[in-house]
Structure 1
Amino acid sequence: MIDMGFLSVIRRWALRDKMPILADQVPDWLDRMLARKPVKVVAVALAARMARTVWALIAREDSYRTMPS
């Protein structure tokens, strides 16, 4: 079920050429994975990555901080 939610996220990122506002929000690693792997595999990888992030935040009782550009 979570993976299906990430499919919609990936589809939205795929529209970035038609929606320039999204172009700078697509991570480079996601572009590289989409070039090599099927969309559903990338959705599962994205869900796993987010789950690990959430688990680490909960385990450390920390809050999310974005990486500096």
Structure 2
Amino acid sequence: MKTTMKLFCLFVLVFFLVHLCKKRGSVEAELFLSNVEALASGENADRSCFGVGSLDCPQDHSKVYYIW
């Protein structure tokens, strides 16, 4: 009985750790892809700013409503 309980607890622990590692890996992969996209776009991307709002325009650092 004790052996069965120990094996069950070990199985639950391994399952939890595998699930945790997979979840953490997907967040890291998403972050990695975001960084690659940011590096690929470069610093001098063609962007236009429109309106008056709370966003900082990357061209002249004025406050704008929309950046595209």
The structure with more helix, counted as a fraction of residues: 1
Q: TM over 0.5, yes or no?
A: no
Task: Give the TM-score taking structure 2 as reference length.
Answer: 0.35
The structure with more strand, counted as a fraction of residues: 2
Q: Which protein shows a greater Rg?
A: 2
